[in-house]
Amino acid sequence: MPAARGPAVPRRMRAMRMHAISDLQRQAEPLVAERIPLPELATGELLVEVHACGVCRTEIDEIEGRTPPPVLPMTPGHQAVGTVIAEHPGCRLGLHGQRVGVAWIHSSCGKCAWCRQGLENLCPRFRATGRDAPGGYAEFLAIHEDFAHPLPPSLESTAAAPLLCAGAVGLRALRSCQLGAGEALGLTGFGASGHLVLQMARFLHPDSALCVFARDPTERSFALELGADWAGDIRDPAPQPLAAVIDTTPAWTPVVAALAQLAPGGRLVINAIRKQDRDQAALLELRYEEHLWREKSIRSVANVTRADVRDCLELAARIPLTPEVACYALEDANRALCELTAGALRGAKVLVTARPQD
């Protein structure tokens, strides 16, 4: 371990780790609180002392086996904010002492056809923070300096954390909508990503009507507070046909419902790494004439690129965009995950890591 300047770095750290695939409906504590050795830094890597880490639905997909870690145990978490306290010899970017964000994209090969096109999110060797490499549900993590994102000073750590995934992938989804001037946009589901996309869309497309579909009345009220023009249940008819809809839910029912809301030529963008199997019967309702005909299209969003993260951070500072967050102690990660599974969201959930003074 390279020597760190400043306060002494402990040899072990607190971490919340996943040891097995679990069903969060039955297992309320899928993560285990442990003290483990600090990561050893490889060439080009930084040691980041984590201040905050966002809680994402993707962690639920990892725990429940829809996108499982290749090895266990694993420390989840891919929306981490912290300070660089040590670096491997040979690091060239001078990030020591800076506050950085660590996102879902942990690394890519940089050489394949996808990477050369700027589509590193599609790289066959894409590795995800918190799934393929230990993540931010811990006091420290290691990340290659090329995949660490310096943060604008105006963004507080707890506010910056959700921007690293919910915000960045939301911005990628919004761009995929190819929204024209004055075209109406719908959002199905209104969790961490939805509440950020709404604010980004209002800033980037001020003349567009923004409609939110959510099952829970609390989420609908929150959407209206943030500037939505209309909010209703997932099957309620929107006040006008929609040019595009972004779906951020883990279910299939909203996909079919959203297709019915699209205007001719409309675009449905699905922003989810996996869909749950529990309501696959909803797909039996799909009718070509109602849901797909007249050149409607469906597109998925897969992962994020570093450019997505950088652009989201810059845009958030410019708006300015302040995510609504509920903070939890690191050891309360299981409670945060179970509450996220239960629904009725208002903004994002963030774990706060404070090193004990001993």
Q: What is the pLDDT of residue 249?
A: 92
- pLDDT tens profile 24-44: 888 889 999 999 999 999 999
Q: How many domains would you assign to the chain?
A: 2
For residues 21 and 154, state if they share a domain.
Answer: yes
Buried-state track 69-87, b at ≥16 Cβ within 10 A, e below 16? beeeebbbbbbbbbbbbbb
For tokens 């309620």, name the residue: 236
Does 270 reside within a domain? yes
For residues 172 and 121, state if they share a domain.
Answer: no
Q: What is the pLDDT of residue 10?
A: 83
- pLDDT tens profile 208-260: 999 999 999 999 999 999 999 999 999 999 999 999 999 999 899 999 999 99
CB-based contact 247:197 (threshold 8 Å): no
Structure tokens, 302: 């897969």
Q: What is the pLDDT of residue 4?
A: 46
Give burial (CB, 10 Å; 0-12/13-18/19+) of 245.
buried
- Give the mean pLDDT of 115-142: 98
Q: How confident is the model at residue 20 (pLDDT cuts 50, 70, 90)?
A: very high
Q: What is the pLDDT of residue 3?
A: 43
**Percent of the chain residues past pLDDT 70, beyond the cut:** 96
Tell me how far CA of residue 5 lies from CA of 85, 86, 96, in angstroms. Answer: 7, 7, 9
Does 312 reside within a domain? no
Q: What is the pLDDT of residue 175?
A: 98
For residues 108 and 246, state if they share a domain.
Answer: no
pLDDT, greater one: 276 or 58: 58
For residues 263 and 121, state if they share a domain.
Answer: no
Q: What is the pLDDT of residue 344?
A: 60
Does 316 reside within a domain? no
DSSP-H helix ranges across the chain: 57-63, 113-116, 157-160, 166-176, 192-204, 217-225, 253-261, 306-318, 333-342
Q: How confident is the model at residue 172 (pLDDT cuts 50, 70, 90)?
A: very high
Residue 345 pLDDT more than 80?
Answer: no
For residues 155 and 19, state if they share a domain.
Answer: yes
Rounded Cα–Cα distance for residues 323 and 312 (Å): 12
Domain membership of residue 183 as a residue range:
168-300
Does 1 reside within a domain? no
Does 217 reside within a domain? yes
Rounded Cα–Cα distance for residues 15 and 264 (Å): 50
- pLDDT tens profile 314-332: 999 999 998 999 999 999 9
Does 284 reside within a domain? yes
Q: What is the pLDDT of residue 357?
A: 41
First to last CA, the chain: 22
Residue 356 pLDDT more than 80?
Answer: no
- Give the mean pLDDT of 77-100: 96
CATH number at residue 66: 3.90.180.10
Rounded Cα–Cα distance for residues 8 and 20 (Å): 33
**Percent of the chain residues past pLDDT 90, beyond the cut:** 87
For residues 123 and 181, state if they share a domain.
Answer: no
Rounded Cα–Cα distance for residues 293 and 12 (Å): 58
Range in 131-135, 145-149, 353-357 with the lowest mean pLDDT: 353-357
CATH number at residue 192: 3.40.50.720
For residues 331 and 280, state if they share a domain.
Answer: no
For residues 141 and 79, state if they share a domain.
Answer: yes
- Give the mean pLDDT of 39-56: 97
pLDDT, greater one: 50 or 5: 50
For residues 155 and 20, state if they share a domain.
Answer: yes
Q: How far is CA 161 from the centre of its chain?
A: 9
For residues 133 and 80, state if they share a domain.
Answer: yes
Q: How confident is the model at residue 355 (pLDDT cuts 50, 70, 90)?
A: low
Does 347 reside within a domain? yes
Residues paired with residue 230 on neighbouring β-strands, in sequence order: 211
For residues 181 and 46, state if they share a domain.
Answer: no
DSSP letter (8 states) at residue 10: P
Tell me what the pLDDT averaged over the chain comes to. Answer: 94
Residue 2 pLDDT more than 60?
Answer: no
Q: What is the pTM of this model?
A: 0.93
Does 2 reside within a domain? no
For residues 97 and 220, state if they share a domain.
Answer: no
Range in 4-18, 48-62, 194-208 with the lowest mean pLDDT: 4-18
CB-based contact 156:130 (threshold 8 Å): no
CB-based contact 203:174 (threshold 8 Å): no
Q: What is the pLDDT of residue 7?
A: 55
